[in-house]
Structure 1
Amino acid sequence: MSDFGFHTLALLVVIGMVGPLLTAVPRLAIPVIIGELAAGMLVGRTGFDIVDTTNPTFALLANIGFALVMFVVGTHVPVRDPTLRAGIWKAVLRAVLVGAVAAVLGVLIAEAFDTDHAALYAVLMASSSAAVALPIIDALGIDGPQVLSVKAQIAVADAACIVLLPLAINPSRAPQAALGALAVLVCAAVLYVVLRHFERNGTRKRVRGYSKRHQLALELRISLILLFALSALALSMHVSIMLAGFALGLVVNAIGEPKRLARQLLGITEGFFGPLFFVWLGATLQVRELIDHPQFIGLGVALGVGAVVAHGIGRAVGQQLPYSVMAAAQLGVPVAAATLGAEEGLLGPGEPAALILGALVTIGATSIAGEVAKRRQPVEAR
């Protein structure tokens, strides 16, 4: 389907409904994102090849979805929680230990599967996903010092690995990627200072009230302007828009995200652009290449297991094992790596699908660890 019109958009929205439909089956317990990826695989290169992922309009809409997904993820990191900030140094220590173990495992896995992506594998295994782990923790209703500590660790690992990914996936362009990442982060810091000033002098409150009275959604419009401008800067500096979206989300969260803006962002992201991105990503993956290159199935499993093992080092410094495993959940970084690898030809045939497979392994492990933590908590409380 080379042309892209409303008929294509209607089809993509229908395809994206597979995620919520699968989630509605309690016994399956399949995350929405997994269903959307699977549906994309079915209609993309792996399956019937119905949609053209190279279409510029489709790719642009998918990139908007990616930026919005990371923006929402950034707004969900609890940076304003004082108890989380109190345990930040312990979280940093555990994240550093996890990174050290992941670096060793990355070299071993790269040697075992004869690739030169040891740095990329290390970043993947050291990463965490606030978008996956925090909703699981909240849904289970578990709390306490261990939970706050692991939330801080997830936030630290998520932010650090998002910054490190562009440097690791293409080491030959590391200086340029580092400069681009620095430019995006500096702009995000400037935005924080400006927005905080408007928050303190009451300008933001007046704009919010005016927008609400006249139904203008001005905060959403301004947020999108900033997001697209920061994403344009990231692309011009050859940095993933993942960093732009995540950094802006942290800025908005640190200032204080109004509930009205949160609902609006959630609506346009989860209702359209987010599913569109994950369907596009699934459609770009060539899972059949895993059959032609079965060693990459082993690579995906090794990355997933390696991430769980690396995060398990937290047990050595007093963290309970279920919480260590929950910190291993991955999503944004593997998705970004697979997207960049597919777009720029940095990964071999089947390797992007292997990265997603590794993320799925960690999500499964996190779900199991969450249930174990929930069962243990009443006993520990007594």
Structure 2
Amino acid sequence: MSFTVLAVVIAVGLIGPLLALRRGWHIPVVLGELLAGVILGKTGFGYFVASDDKFTFLAEIGFGLVMFVAGTHVPVRDESLRKAIRPGLLRAVVTGIVATGVAYALNAVVDTGHVALYAVLMASSSAALVLPIVDSLGLGGRPVVELLPQVAIADAACIVALPLAIDPPHAGRAALGALAVIAAGAVAYVLLNWAERSGVRRRAHKVSEDRQFAIELRVSLIVLFALARLATATHVSIMLAGFVLGLAVAAVGEPRRLARQLFALTEGFLGPVFFVWLGASLDLRELLTKPEFIGLGAALGLGAVISHLSGMLTRQPMSLGVLASAQLGVPVAAATLGTTLHVLQPGEPSALILGALVTIAAGVVAGGIAVRRGLVSAKAVSG
């Protein structure tokens, strides 16, 4: 990889913001970045070589940062959300049960042997997608408050379960690795919480702001890379390392300056590198040679929507159930991890991404329906 290639990666990544420019469409920026990678990668012109070691390493850093930021977006300190944990947990569990049944039915048709993986995918949600849609549409009220912990619980649980589901023969090893990363994340939380309560973090923040040291960002990156090293050493996805650290920071309280710095580093540089790399690594032409994988992707997306509609059994509005099915992080991680471990068939990673795109489209439509049904906050109404 050269500076020329890196410049092209960042340049074509601007397709993401261009497609997301119109607010009413609620298109995630990452879709444009994925599309750019697809066009210039294996599927298209072949300019980007996803197997390049330098490109892959930068993409892995970007992946860890993307999941770190996603973890910080989970509102674990919100008191109103804590009261809604019980119904949110119940709906997440019921969704998981329904998704497991759908996964068995789907595997009976495609016979890939990935029942556990499909169940995790269809049960997952994406806090990084759903929360921005909720905020941008001004959704509110008790049903929406109960939706947020449901999404956060499903997101976190599926991130932990994915390494176990994608490679069942090594599930024991993956479980131990996941526990090690989670335990390290818990230690990070204890230390961060001590620094916050003792005033050490505030004093360091003042010095850093006055002298332009960026201490909080540096410390965050040190911990993230240490957790990433632990994850790779124990054969666990970097995804879990980033998300666990993000949850720890969110639980303590993320400083606004750190949030801005992470946003700039992730969204301006390493995040686009990862999603362009991911698009470049996919060979969508394989879907044309194996049309059954097109059906698999559509079925995974539809199965996710059906699984999340189980929330209607507990009187959740249909639109919010569909919105909860919107996902990207877990399917992306599954495609990345499955490609790295060589446990997916040719064309299957692309099918997983296609399924995610189906849920995103359904979630965007459902968000608009929720607004029309009056599921908006009092602030949005007055506005």
TM-score range, shorter chain: over 0.9
Q: Which amino acid aligns with 1:346?
A: V
Equivalent of residue 12 in structure 1, options 9, 14, 32: 9
CA separation of 1:83 and 1:163: change in aligned 2, threshold 3 A: same
Give the CA RMSD over aligned residues. 1.4
What secondary structure sits across from 1:59 in the alignment?
helix
Equivalent of residue 331 in structure 1, options 314, 328, 331: 328
Q: Deviation digits for residues 39-77 of structure 1, max 9, x if unmatched?
A: 100010000100111111100000000000000000000
* Correspondences of 1:38-187 after superposition (within 5 Å): 38-187=35-184
8 Å contact 2:139–2:377 — kept in the other structure? no
8 Å contact 2:139–2:376 — kept in the other structure? no
Query: TM-score, normalized by length of structure 2?
Result: 0.97
Q: Share of identical aligned residues, percent?
A: 57
Equivalent of residue 296 in structure 1, options 293, 296, 318: 293
What secondary structure sits across from 2:113 in the alignment?
coil
Q: Which residue in the other structure is 1:341 paired with?
A: 338
Q: Which amino acid aligns with 2:343?
A: L
Equivalent of residue 369 in structure 2, options 355, 372, 375: 372
Query: TM-score, normalized by length of structure 1?
Result: 0.97
Deviation at 1:380? 11
Q: Which moved more, 1:94-103 or 1:14-23?
A: 14-23
8 Å contact 2:26–2:133 — kept in the other structure? no
Equivalent of residue 246 in structure 1, options 240, 243, 249: 243
> What is the rounded CA distance, in whole Å, between the counterparts of 1:137 and 1:303 in structure 2?
24
Q: Which amino acid aligns with 1:245?
A: G
Q: Which amino acid aligns with 1:22?
A: L
What secondary structure sits across from 1:151 in the alignment?
helix
> What is the rounded CA distance, in whole Å, between the counterparts of 1:127 and 1:147 in structure 2?
18
What secondary structure sits across from 1:377 in the alignment?
coil
> What is the rounded CA distance, in whole Å, between the counterparts of 1:19 and 1:326 in structure 2?
21
Q: Which residue in the other structure is 2:189 paired with?
A: 192
Q: Which amino acid aligns with 2:352?
A: L
Q: Which residue in the other structure is 1:206 paired with?
A: 203
Deviation at 1:191? 1.0
2:310 is the counterpart of 1:313 = yes
Q: Deviation digits for residues 288-320 of structure 1, max 9, x if unmatched?
A: 000000000000000000000000000011111
8 Å contact 2:181–2:241 — kept in the other structure? yes
Q: Which amino acid aligns with 1:137?
A: V
Q: Which amino acid aligns with 1:279?
A: V
> What is the rounded CA distance, in whole Å, between the counterparts of 1:23 and 1:38 in structure 2?
13
> What is the rounded CA distance, in whole Å, between the counterparts of 1:192 and 1:104 in structure 2?
36
Q: Which stretches in structure 2 are left out of the alignment for 5+ residues?
A: none
Q: Which stretches in structure 1 are left out of the alignment for 5+ residues?
A: none
Q: Which amino acid aligns with 1:148?
A: V
CA separation of 1:159 and 1:29: change in aligned 2, threshold 3 A: closer
Q: Which residue in the other structure is 2:259 paired with?
A: 262
CA separation of 1:290 and 1:63: change in aligned 2, threshold 3 A: same
